[in-house]
Amino acid sequence: MHPKRTDKIATGIIFCIVATVVLILAFLLGYILMNGVPDITWHFLTSQAQSFSAGGGIRDQLFNSLYLLILTLIISFPIAMGAGIYLAEYAKDNWITDIIRTSIEVLSSLPSVVVGLFGYLLLVNQLNFGFSILSGAIALTFFNLPLLTRNIEESLNSVPDLQKEAGTSLGLSDWKTITKIIIPEALPGILTGVILSSGRVFGEAAALIYTAGQSAPTVSYTNWNIFSSSSFLNPMRPAETLAVHIWKVNTEAVTPDAAAISAGSSAVLIIVILLFNLSARFIGNRIYKKMTAAK
Amino acid sequence: MDDIQRKLQQNSKATREDRLGKVICYTCIGFIILLVACILYFIASKGIATFTKDHVNVWQFLTTSNWEPGNLDSKGHPMVGALPMIVTSFSVTLLAALVATPFALGVAIFMTEISAKKGAKMLQPVIELLVGIPSVVYGFIGLSLIVPFIRGIFGGTGFGILSGTLVLFVMVLPTITSLTVDSLKAVPMHYRQASLALGATRWQTIYKVILRSATPGILTAIIFGMARAFGEALAVQMVIGNAILMPKNLVSPASTLTSKLTTDIGNTVMGTLPNDALWSLALILLLMSLVFNMIVRFLGKRGNIKNAS
Amino acid sequence: MKTYDFNDNYIIDIDAENAIETDNVQVSYGKNQAIFDTSLEFPRFKIISLIGASGSGKSTYLRCLNRMNDKIATVTGKIMYRNVDINDPKTNVYEVRKHIGMVFQRPNPFAKSIRENIQFALKENGIHDKNELEERLELSLQDAALWEEVKDELDTSALALSGGQQQRLCIARSIAMKPDILLLDEPASALDPISTSKIEDTVQLLSKNLTVIIVTHNMQQASRISDYTAFFHMGHIIEYNETRKIFTNPKIKATEDYISGDFG
């Protein structure tokens, strides 16, 4: 065939492929939002889930998801920060670093269900945390650590070495230079990474089914004593999240309006994640601008 | 000795800060290493219990297809044949990668070679959003759209490998695409210029020059996609049907390693054979993820050699 | 390029109080030796230029003087400052750098306000008195000839300044620490001629109160501002003499060839 003609045909095919992919996404988002958004009512967001009758809401699941996310970030961020600093600033080019990097790669490529099962084994059984928010948050930390660490390392590496030299040449310790000069400059990248990983954590279910559990016991939102078993803040209670809820009503539950609940929950999940995505872009850009140009 | 001389020869606040900082960072990284070691150790030790403690034959485990861990067969051996799950897992993984790769290549070529500015700007968020959609949502859509659709065309239940493949196709598409984009971008600009200057058409350049030199990177992208597909649990579990049968065709209910694990691990008692057998499935998952990792490393090395020469 | 005998060198002894001196300093990166036995004396309150072709080791040598090569290269030999060998691993490197400041080839202000750029390190070193901080801010900016240009926008980001201003800010940041010695690593190589001459004026002004050691590839610059000049070639110190003498009457062939533009 004539090369020019092949060229045209190939280009045409590629255009079709791109259009198909865009359509798939548009269709997915459209389907979730069109089906789900009508189900999102104030009642849906603020009432308890029902097991056997229609009309249940997702109040507890939504709260659990957010609470788990916050706990996960509180645990995983400092560790990822330390590990990221190590890789960006202290790691030498030798076999130890090689082992470390390989370990992180292995951790990041583990299926989340394996991470969840490990959490089940270690946290729920061995350490006797039971099905609890704490177990869930730690399991999600395992799942979140490698990506967050790599993101922080990359953000730190994107700050020019000159900045570090500037700090150390003034007699500042490496640690001060890193924490007070390099980290602030790497902040837009770090924040973007944290927010994007939040989206991942928020939507994760496989790692939670056997760690945070699949039940959402009745809790009191006025009981602020975190040691009380009925308090919404108690980290030792089981907590079904929104993502787990979607999975459960679709596979195991007998709720009559399972489809509507899933659609509504999926829409809420997607909207929250979209918000995370948008804010990651927005906040990153904003801080970057604020730092680099004064006016 | 004056004050400055003394200070020069003593530790100061900065020395202590640095020591503290190092301790903190080394602890964090040590924690991660320990964690990985623990995961490998725990899953491995649980996973091999089936063979060491319950004396199941490894070969039998991998190659027979009766899975009734609670019962014994006619010869008195426990029936733990994981072959159906293994076959199903590999089938959905390979099929999903097979379907997704042309799409991923197309999108990646579009983003790097055809419309590098506008197209990339428009498609980047599309890919990020596809990554961002949680797997349960994919599962839910699969359950409410794809399964009925397949049922409508092929009859039966609609659950099965085909539904699983279609769901996984959308899930691995962004992974393969974004990594392919990276590897296409890494092809030096002068390759393109040289080829076009020789009178090659754009497609000839793409096909004969760019795709060739980016091959290791593209293969890596596909392996990453396969790793994601192989390890995906819930989305697949929701559409695969969860029947422990040797898959006869693409539209009969089947069960993957991950789906079996998620469904059953809560229904078995720790330390019993049915439970141990499930941990052996988890071990297969773990080992496969290590294998994918090794392939990626191998491809990375080959890519480096190719670029260096 | 011609080859020269590295043992053929001419290094003067300076009969004055030294700010810093090196004794048999050698630097290597892994297996590659970058600096061979270098022993030099730098008299107080003078400006000393280090010249040589790129790759001659002049910057590497400079960076030894406040231990900026730690973690990058292996440095052996003695570097005596106030009768303390600051190259001794036991010496407190942070204290060393407080007294021996450095300004780099490319301007590297922090992504902070102009005020914070100057005051940040001061605060970290325990100066919290507001008046003193403000005083040092103004004085150092004045010494760096930047005060007039920025006094009304001290709280804006330092990254909004021009390259020349940024470099003068970096000088101000260093001298705010009141160092004894200021090391300048080709401070004007990335700047336009006007900024360059401003920096030269600044450096000459500064040498009233401190010792300046400046690496430059610009021989006019070296002859304009410095009292002494050291010529480096392929990691060896070839000639060290009063600037006037070295440029009018070089004692060694290699120096002569370099100055007359044969290589470099």
Q: What tens digit of pLDDT does each residue of B166-202 get?
A: 999 999 999 999 999 989 988 888 888 888 888 888 8
Mutate to test the interface with A, among B140, B209, B238 (most CBs of A within 10 A): B140
C-alpha span between A242 and A254 (Å, rounded): 17
Across the interface, whether the CB atoms of A291 and C159 are under 8 A apart is answered: yes
Q: What is the pLDDT of residue B1?
A: 54
Q: Is the pLDDT of residue A294 over 60?
A: no
Could you give the angle at which helices B161-185 and B118-132 cross, rounded to 10 degrees?
Answer: 140
By the CB < 8 Å criterion, does A27 face chain B?
no
Which residues are within 8 A (CB) of C129 and not within 5 positions of it... i.e. 6 or more apart? none
C-alpha span between C216 and C105 (Å, rounded): 10
Contact yes or no for B10/C105 (Cβ under 8 A): no
Q: Which domains does chain B have, with CATH numbers?
A: 80-308 (1.10.3720.10)
Chain A residue closest in CA terms to C159: A292
Q: What is the pLDDT of residue B230?
A: 93
Contact yes or no for B144/B235 (Cβ under 8 A): no
C-alpha span between C189 and A187 (Å, rounded): 31
**Among residues 215-274 of chain A, which lie with CB inside 8 Å of chain C?**
none
B32, B129, B233 ranked by CB distance to A206: nearest:
B233
Contacting partners of chain B (3+ CB pairs under 8 A)? A, C
Among A220-224, A236-240, B65-69, C139-143, the least confident range: A220-224
Contacting partners of chain C (3+ CB pairs under 8 A)? A, B
**Span B62-78, mean pLDDT?**
76
**Span A1-30, mean pLDDT?**
87
Q: What is the pLDDT of residue B304?
A: 62
Kindly report the average pLDDT of chain C as a whole number.
Answer: 90
What's the 3-state SS for chain A?
CCHHHHHHHHHHHHHHHHHHHHHHHHHHHHHHHHHHHHHCCHHHHHCCCCCCCCCCCCHHHHHHHHHHHHHHHHHHHHHHHHHHHHHHHHCCCCHHHHHHHHHHHHHHHCCHHHHHHHHHHHHHHHCCCCCCHHHHHHHHHHHHHHHHHHHHHHHHHCCCHHHHHHHHCCCCCHHHHHHHHHHHHHHHHHHHHHHHHHHHHHHCCCCCCCCCCCCCCCCECCCCCCCCCCECCCCCCCCCCHHHHHHHHHHCCCCCCHHHHHHHHHHHHHHHHHHHHHHHHHHHHHHHHHHHCCC
Give me the total of CB pairs closer than 8 Å, taking one residue from chain A and one from chain C. Answer: 73
Q: What is the pLDDT of residue B80?
A: 80
C96, C104, C113 ranked by CB distance to A162: nearest:
C104
Tokens of A199: 């989206």
Tokens of A153: 């390392």
Could you give the angle at which helices B257-264 and A112-119 cross, rounded to 10 degrees?
Answer: 30
**Among residues 177-196 of chain B, which lie with CB inside 8 Å of chain A?**
none
Q: Is the pLDDT of residue C6 over 60?
A: yes
Chain A residue closest in CA terms to C122: A170
**Span C15-24, mean pLDDT?**
88
Q: Is the pLDDT of residue C214 over 50?
A: yes
**Span A9-31, mean pLDDT?**
90
DSSP conformation class of C113? B
Q: Is the pLDDT of residue C10 over 50?
A: yes
Contact yes or no for B199/B190 (Cβ under 8 A): no
A162, A176, A292 ranked by CB distance to C124: nearest:
A176
> Within 10 A of B101 (CB to CB), how many other CB atoms are there?
22
Q: Is B43 helix (H, G, I), strand (E, B) or coil?
A: helix
What is the number of residues in chain B?
309
Residue type, A249: V
Give me the total of CB pairs closer than 8 Å, taking one residue from chain B and one from chain C. Answer: 30
Strands (E), chain C: 10-11, 18-29, 32-43, 47-52, 74-81, 84-85, 100-103, 181-185, 211-215, 228-233, 236-242
Contact yes or no for B66/B79 (Cβ under 8 A): yes
C-alpha span between A261 and A255 (Å, rounded): 9
Across the interface, whether the CB atoms of B5 and C95 are under 8 A apart is answered: no
C66, C112, C153 ranked by CB distance to A169: nearest:
C66
Among A115-129, B110-124, B224-238, C92-106, the least confident range: B110-124
C-alpha span between A43 and A278 (Å, rounded): 27
By the CB < 8 Å criterion, does A293 face chain C?
yes
Across the interface, whether the CB atoms of B135 and A206 are under 8 A apart is answered: yes
DSSP conformation class of B53? T
Which residue from A73, A133, A74, A65 is spatially nearest to A272, judged by alpha carbons?
A65
Could you give the angle at which helices B13-52 and A95-109 cross, rounded to 10 degrees?
Answer: 60
Across the interface, whether the CB atoms of B9 and C91 are under 8 A apart is answered: yes
Contacting residues of B for A11, CB less than 8 Å apart? 114, 202-203
C-alpha span between A181 and B13 (Å, rounded): 18
Percent of chain C, pLDDT > 70?
99
By the CB < 8 Å criterion, does A187 face chain C?
no
Q: To which H or E segment does residue C200 belong? A: helix C193-206
Class of domain C16-259: alpha beta
pLDDT digits (tens, 9 = 90+) for B19-29: 999 999 999 99
Q: Is the pLDDT of residue A52 over 80?
A: no
By the CB < 8 Å criterion, does A226 face chain B?
no
Burial-class residue A126 by CB neighbours within 10 Å (0-12, 13-18, 19+).
exposed
**Span C67-74, mean pLDDT?**
88
Contact yes or no for C211/C180 (Cβ under 8 A): yes
Tokens of B124: 């980047």
Contacting residues of B for A16, CB less than 8 Å apart? 106
Q: How far is CA A117 from CA A112, A139, B45, B170, in A?
A: 9, 9, 13, 26
Tokens of C185: 């690593």
Q: What is the per-residue DSSP string for C66-87?
A: TTTTTTTSEEEEEEEETTEETT
Give me the total of CB pairs closer than 8 Å, taking one residue from chain A and one from chain B. Answer: 248
Confidence band of C26 (pLDDT split at 50, 70, 90): very high
DSSP conformation class of C103? E
pLDDT digits (tens, 9 = 90+) for B252-292: 888 888 998 888 887 888 878 888 888 999 999 999 999 99
Across the interface, whether the CB atoms of B29 and A115 are under 8 A apart is answered: no
Angle at A140 between CA A134 and CA A143, to 5 degrees: 150
Q: Is C105 helix (H, G, I), strand (E, B) or coil?
A: coil
Which residues are within 8 A (CB) of B69 and not within 5 positions of it... i.e. 6 or more apart? B78, B79, B80, B273, B274, B277
**Span A21-45, mean pLDDT?**
86
C-alpha span between A119 and A208 (Å, rounded): 9
Across the interface, whether the CB atoms of C108 and A292 are under 8 A apart is answered: no
Q: Where are the domains of chain A?
A: 40-292
Burial-class residue C26 by CB neighbours within 10 Å (0-12, 13-18, 19+).
middle
Q: What is the pLDDT of residue A295?
A: 38
Burial-class residue B1 by CB neighbours within 10 Å (0-12, 13-18, 19+).
exposed
Could you give the angle at which helices A3-36 and B83-109 cross, rounded to 10 degrees?
Answer: 120
Partnered with residue C182 across adjacent β-strands are: C101, C212
Class of domain A40-292: mainly alpha
Contacting residues of C for A160, CB less than 8 Å apart? 108
Contacting residues of B for C94, CB less than 8 Å apart? 12, 14-15
Burial-class residue A93 by CB neighbours within 10 Å (0-12, 13-18, 19+).
exposed
Partnered with residue A161 across adjacent β-strands are: none
Contacting partners of chain A (3+ CB pairs under 8 A)? B, C
Mutate to test the interface with A, among B92, B115, B137 (most CBs of A within 10 A): B137
Is the backbone of residue A130 left (phi > 0), alpha (psi -120 to 50) or beta? left
Angle at A206 between CA A277 and CA B236, to 5 degrees: 95
Confidence band of C185 (pLDDT split at 50, 70, 90): very high
Angle at C200 between CA C194 and CA C202, to 5 degrees: 105
A58-90 as b/e: b if 16+ CB within 10 A: bbbbbbbbebbbebbbebbbebbbbbbbbbbbb
Q: Where are the domains of chain C?
A: 16-259
> Within 10 A of A48 (CB to CB), how many other CB atoms are there?
14
By the CB < 8 Å criterion, does B3 face chain C?
no
Q: How far is CA A66 from CA A41, A73, A130, A272, in A?
A: 19, 11, 20, 10
Q: Is the pLDDT of residue B306 over 70?
A: no
C-alpha span between B226 and B40 (Å, rounded): 21
DSSP conformation class of B205? I
C13 min Cα distance to partner chain A (Å): 29
B32 min Cα distance to partner chain C (Å): 25
C106, C113, C121 ranked by CB distance to A171: nearest:
C121
Q: Name residue, tokens 């962004």.
A: B174
Residue type, A144: N
Please state the separation of Cα B151 from the chain's center in Å.
Answer: 28
Q: What is the pLDDT of residue B265?
A: 84
Across the interface, whether the CB atoms of B21 and A174 are under 8 A apart is answered: yes
Kindly report the average pLDDT of chain B as a whole number.
Answer: 86
Contacting residues of C for A181, CB less than 8 Å apart? 110, 120
**Among residues 61-90 of chain B, which lie with CB inside 8 Å of chain A?**
none
